[in-house]
Structure 1
Amino acid sequence: MTVTPSSQIDAVIDSFRVKDGVFAVGMHERGVTLYNQQVRAHNLVWALSELEQTGVRPLGRIAVIGGGAAGLTATAALLACMPVGSSVTLFEKEWDLCPVQQGCDGRWLHPSLYAWPEWGSRAPSASLPILNWSEGRASDVARALLDGFSKYINERTESRFKALVGVHHLQINATRKEISFIGTNVVMTGPYFKQGDSEGGTEKFDTIILAAGFGWERVNDYNTSSYWRNEQIAQPNLTVDRSRYLVSGFGDGALVDVSRLTIERFRQDTILYELFGDKLEKTEEELRRGIAKAGPNLLGYFTRIEAKLLEEAKVSMRGRLRKDTAVTLHVSGTDEKAPKDLRDVFGPGSSVLNRLLTYLLYRCGAISISRRPLGEAISSAHIAHEHVLCRHGCDTKRHLQLIFSDYDKVKLAFADMEDKQAQHPTRYWAPGYFPVC
């Protein structure tokens, strides 16, 4: 039996701790992927369980805030290993669990492609002990998570598990470890549930886990659909006219939409094989070595290796550019922000794969770049408002201010999390630690 050093457990706990007994999963972390959030949830529950088993800190009454991938994973992991006497209450503001990805057929999820070109990053399975899934449409992944979650609600756990949906009021007082809420109870029946009675109240918990995602996508004046809502931008136009689009932002959401708008028949699960063919593994090996030395911004590195490693991929990309769209990548953010530069697109705020695809599109002349204020960029490129896609990320700070009634007491802890980026999506638990349903 492997004994984990207490210092490692303490370090993991510290990376999640907001205040004594209050923990947050990935609220300010980079690497915003469903898989990474699940790994973080596993890590936190593992560390809390170790403290319970060694008598350092009991789990007691547990609250999990958020019924998405991280919240469901944390809840299932707790149900799998929490001791008799503990209980868990799950709060979700929408009227269903895993609501963001449900029914989303236009987005592709892969467990580890964000880490490409690292070893194993093309493996299709998440290989997680709790709520495992394989690459697929977001809607299929959501179904797999919900099917998996239902297996943890059984005769042994149902008396110690409670879930509320439609929670239209929720406030945490971190100092007192209290949650005030108004929501509707549900009764799980397999992967589905029946609606029960509504209730409101204020309850005290011993352990509070905030797994409420990263906040709401920033509001804009162009009615941009949420990243996870179905739309048709990846489909060819059924009109003679060529459509002009503007994508504002340079995070992963923006760069994925640029690829969908500019590359014919773009699929995240196949694009690497299509561009690099039988040279993919050799290219990955070269990239691993080069990126380790290149620093966080990859524009200069891609430029240096283009002739040696990227020329064939560029030729392949040029042969499959969409003919029915013209795309402007707006890199200045919102009007209030200072203009960014092309170089900023290739910084550490997005995956290597998305930066590489954007570089190839840039070198093929497939996209225009705008540094003007957003309104000017739209008018100068003659973009219709319905073709403006604002991907400016989530307003996490505002989200937290509304959730915590004593935000002033926890804001420094969240600022510290954002600065340290210490919730590494590295598996700290030993194989076999979590019982698999």
Structure 2
Amino acid sequence: MGDPSADRSVARGGDVSTDDLNSEDLLKRYKVPGQNIFLIGTFDAGVTVLDQQVRALNLVWALVEQDFLQYHRQSNVAGPAGRPQRVAIVGGGFAGLTAAAGLLRKGINADITLFEQRDTLLPLQQGSDSRWLHPHIYDWPKVGSLSGAALLPVLNWTAARASDVVVQILGEWKATYREWHGTSENKFRLYCNARHVQVHETGTDRNQLRIEWVGEQRSPEDGITAVPLNGSPSATYHTVTTGSSEEFDIVLLAVGFGTERDTEQSYWRNETYAQPSLDSQRHTYVVSGQGDGAMMDLLRLRVSQFRQDRILGEIFEGKKQLVDALQEIQALHTGLNAAPGLFNALEVLSDRHPDEFATVRDRMSRRLRRDTEVILSLQVKKFSELFDPATRRISFQNRVLVYLLYKCGGFFPSSRGTDELERDSELIAERVVRRHGTRRDEMLKDVLSEYLYKLISSARTEKDANYFLQPHAPAWRGGYFGFPGRELDAVHLPETTKSSWKKEYLPGPTALMATAFCASLSGVLAAGHSSDFRLRVVLHRVVSFGGREVLQQACDYQGVALSHADKSGVARTFPTHVGTIGLAFGTRQIIRSRKKVSPTELRLYMKSPARALNEASRDMSPSVTFVLAIPIVEPPEPNRHTPPSSVVGVIYIDSQQPGYFINNKVLSGIVTMADGFVSGLQVLSESRLQRLSNMAPPVLFAPNKIVAETNSHPLFDATAKRLLEEVTSIVPPMTGGPFQMNFDYSEFVALE
């Protein structure tokens, strides 16, 4: 959660499809007209931590692809007089830090300065133990919304207390910074307690930028250690505050949403609303507000053992028909074209599914606390108006939960003023919770000159009120932040880079299971293979990143006589059309090299445009004498597989032993082993595992928008038929229905 008053379903940048925007068009949604100033999510309603991180990475993608920022090995350097560009990032929260990490990952030729107003990075959520963050929960009941991993290529995190998420992200940041610092000649400076930061225009055309500031320089690695004036790390933690003024080529504004209105108790400060009373008395609270922040505190005050990331799974467990119906309601009543009448739709739902709804309502009723009562202070007369497009500011999942709480008589709505309710109920100030949103404009006014602020205001009032609304779905392709520079330049990177590039998030339990299977299979094959020659076995899973299906290496290579490079490729992603695995994916058939195939011809074919292996990986070794790819498939019929493709994964085997060949008898044994592996995983998926689940990954795009990349070459041309064969006599391993390899840790533990 970002802005505590936020609603992800109102008109917002997230409803702008990245399918309609190339990098040039997307960049316009960030850029202040006439200036190299870029805003990150400042005017988007309904923002979560994940939304802001995605917007930050989308900006980095657009800046790099449009050559605003260039990879340091490119010949044309954008900075004046050949110097590195000077980039300023104002704001050390989730968006600013993610943008910084994205820039480091892309290896841009720039010196970066990061300014944070408060004493530490990620200051709002530091030590916030009473709030929980979940990357996808606001998308409920969409597929994958209970999945706990953010699935980010940079500064990834999993659902946890806000304070624990901070620890995760700062750990990711430290690793990213160390890796960059060890190889880059560019500079990175961090200033905390930067209470005075002023961005203003200079030059005759007013299109150059200068920042003046007063702040404490810190070590970028930890954000804590002071850096003295001589620039070397300080041995002590004393602070050195300095004032300075410098010109910058590009300024990224990640200033957040400002201070909260009408309250001294910030949403992110620790309090005891969710804890039972210690004095055995029943206390009355007033919760004032019509956004997610208010609804969250209402639920915490009234629902026992409330956890934002667990409550939906606990309340709706086993009620698939009800959840499916809610998905249909969500599609109709959310988004830019949301239909009115959500409250009535929920009333009709309870009538159409009386038994399931009664069970869900009873589960909520049994969880009501007996030591609190809450008056919900609203600006609308009728509670049902809170659900209408004209007045709602609440996410769909919170509206469903609050509706259930209402049906249980869990609170009293009131349109009387908050002050009046406080006075009449004789409440102490600590029992009045105000969640009235934030002062967003104040943050921009604080850091920008009057001229620059007017440019932003004019763009929104004179051009388009939605001028700065930005998508929260990834615009980059899977693996983009796993290599430096632009997408089109990636093919020219060194071969050593390609052995471990284009990595995306891979759950640890999934990697463990893939490793166990491949190690077992390689052990069986090793009995008939020389120990003097390399034998490799690996499993790729099919997963979507950036709206595109890819094949992801699910474990390191297992086998015989492996090199160091064979132990660095886990989590790499490949387009679904490349190499032998691409043939197996596209044909849904087992692909095997022919007996006594020429290693030279096989290597040249894999390097050809038809297979394009060198675009996604190192060139095939000239010593490879045998390749085998076995797809793990789902039933092709509609509703029996996870769209768009009906392939779960691909097992890949290759060998450098002269004359090596896996015949049909051995191949049948491998397929039988794989069938058993898949069957076991399916049974495991349906079992209740303590803190482990095989949840479908979140769908950030509609299924018909997710594509499996192809090229213009036929799958099986004449060259392919001469070197490779489709083994049609053996049926590939097949699942019994929709399935994915996405075993991951989960905090969800259902209450009995």
TM-score (norm 2): 0.53
Q: Deviations over 1:395-426 (max 9, x none)?
A: 01122222211222321235567535731111
- In the alignment, structure 1 segments of 5+ residues that lack a partner are 333-338
Distance in 1 (alpha carbons) for counterparts of 2:192 and 2:269? 20
Q: 1:327-342 to 2 correspondence within 5 Å?
A: 327-332=374-379, 341-342=382-383
Distance in 2 (alpha carbons) for counterparts of 1:208 and 1:256? 35
Residues 77, 130 of structure 1: 8 Å contact kept: yes
Matched, 1:323 2:338: no
Partner of 2:423: 379
Which SS does the other structure have where 2:56 is aligned? helix
Counterpart pick for 2:55 among 40, 43, 53: 40
* Further displaced range: 282-291 or 188-197: 188-197
Q: Deviations over 1:275-296 (max 9, x none)?
A: 11111x4433222222222335
Q: 1:115-130 to 2 correspondence within 5 Å?
A: 115-130=139-154
Residues 31, 114 of structure 1: 8 Å contact kept: no
Q: Deviations over 1:355-398 (max 9, x none)?
A: 11111111111111111222112223332221001101110112
* Further displaced range: 262-271 or 412-421: 412-421
Q: 1:225-240 to 2 correspondence within 5 Å?
A: 225-240=265-280
Distance in 2 (alpha carbons) for counterparts of 1:417 and 1:239? 55
Cα distance, 1:189 vs. partner? 4.6
Q: 1:35-184 to 2 correspondence within 5 Å?
A: 35-52=50-67, 60-84=85-109, 86-153=110-177, 154-157=181-184, 159-173=186-200, 175=206, 176-184=208-216
Residues 140, 397 of structure 2: 8 Å contact kept: yes
Which SS does the other structure have where 2:332 is aligned? helix
Partner of 1:12: 26
Q: Which amino acid aligns with 2:298?
A: V
CA RMSD of aligned residues (A): 2.5
Counterpart pick for 2:454 among 398, 408, 418: 408
Cα distance, 1:313 vs. partner? 1.3
Cα distance, 1:169 vs. partner? 0.4
Cα distance, 1:90 vs. partner? 0.3
Q: Which amino acid aligns with 2:50?
A: Y
Change in Cα spacing, 1:162 to 1:418, as seen in structure 2 (3 Å) is farther
Change in Cα spacing, 1:180 to 1:219, as seen in structure 2 (3 Å) is farther
Q: Deviations over 1:117-161 (max 9, x none)?
A: 122111110010000000000011001111111122222347421
Distance in 1 (alpha carbons) for counterparts of 2:363 and 2:196? 52
Residues 332, 339 of structure 2: 8 Å contact kept: no
Change in Cα spacing, 1:341 to 1:66, as seen in structure 2 (3 Å) is farther
Distance in 1 (alpha carbons) for counterparts of 2:211 and 2:332? 47
Cα distance, 1:341 vs. partner? 4.3
Which SS does the other structure have where 2:304 is aligned? coil
Distance in 1 (alpha carbons) for counterparts of 2:20 and 2:87? 23
Q: Which amino acid aligns with 2:162?
A: A
Which SS does the other structure have where 2:176 is aligned? coil
Counterpart pick for 2:288 among 243, 248, 255: 248
Change in Cα spacing, 1:264 to 1:421, as seen in structure 2 (3 Å) is farther
Q: Which amino acid aligns with 2:37?
A: V
Residues 255, 444 of structure 2: 8 Å contact kept: no
Cα distance, 1:346 vs. partner? 2.1
Partner of 2:251: 208
Distance in 2 (alpha carbons) for counterparts of 1:128 and 1:189? 20
Partner of 1:336: none
Which SS does the other structure have where 1:129 is aligned? coil
Partner of 2:332: 293
- In the alignment, structure 2 segments of 5+ residues that lack a partner are 1-17, 229-239, 483-502, 505-752
Q: Which amino acid aligns with 1:64?
A: I
Cα distance, 1:195 vs. partner? 4.5
Q: 1:250-265 to 2 correspondence within 5 Å?
A: 250-265=290-305
Distance in 2 (alpha carbons) for counterparts of 1:136 and 1:418? 35
Residues 190, 223 of structure 2: 8 Å contact kept: no
Q: Which amino acid aligns with 2:135?
A: P
Change in Cα spacing, 1:39 to 1:296, as seen in structure 2 (3 Å) is farther
Which SS does the other structure have where 2:66 is aligned? helix
Partner of 2:526: none
Which SS does the other structure have where 2:276 is aligned? coil
Q: Deviations over 1:246-295 (max 9, x none)?
A: 1110111110000000001111121112211111x443322222222233
Q: Which amino acid aligns with 1:342?
A: F
* Further displaced range: 27-36 or 284-293: 284-293
Distance in 1 (alpha carbons) for counterparts of 2:301 and 2:21? 48
Residues 187, 193 of structure 1: 8 Å contact kept: yes
Q: Deviations over 1:309-365 (max 9, x none)?
A: 433211211111110001011112xxxxxx564234224522111111111111111
Distance in 2 (alpha carbons) for counterparts of 1:418 and 1:263? 39
Residues 316, 323 of structure 2: 8 Å contact kept: no
Change in Cα spacing, 1:92 to 1:234, as seen in structure 2 (3 Å) is same
Q: Which amino acid aligns with 2:90?
A: I
Which SS does the other structure have where 1:246 is aligned? strand
Residues 103, 138 of structure 1: 8 Å contact kept: yes
The structure number with the bigger radius of gyration is: 2
* Further displaced range: 254-263 or 116-125: 116-125
Distance in 1 (alpha carbons) for counterparts of 2:120 and 2:65? 31
Counterpart pick for 1:388 among 412, 429, 432: 432
Distance in 1 (alpha carbons) for counterparts of 2:313 and 2:20? 44
Partner of 1:343: 384
Distance in 2 (alpha carbons) for counterparts of 1:400 and 1:64? 14
Residues 28, 414 of structure 1: 8 Å contact kept: no
Distance in 1 (alpha carbons) for counterparts of 2:350 and 2:262? 38
Question: What percentage of aligned pairs have identical amino acids?
Answer: 36
Change in Cα spacing, 1:128 to 1:403, as seen in structure 2 (3 Å) is same
Change in Cα spacing, 1:322 to 1:243, as seen in structure 2 (3 Å) is same
Distance in 1 (alpha carbons) for counterparts of 2:173 and 2:433? 34
Q: Which amino acid aligns with 1:376?
A: E
Residues 460, 467 of structure 2: 8 Å contact kept: no
Q: Comparing both chains, which one has the higher relative contact order based on Cα–Cα distances under 8 Å and sequence gaps of 6 or more?
A: 1
Q: 1:354-373 to 2 correspondence within 5 Å?
A: 354-373=398-417
TM-score (norm 1): 0.90
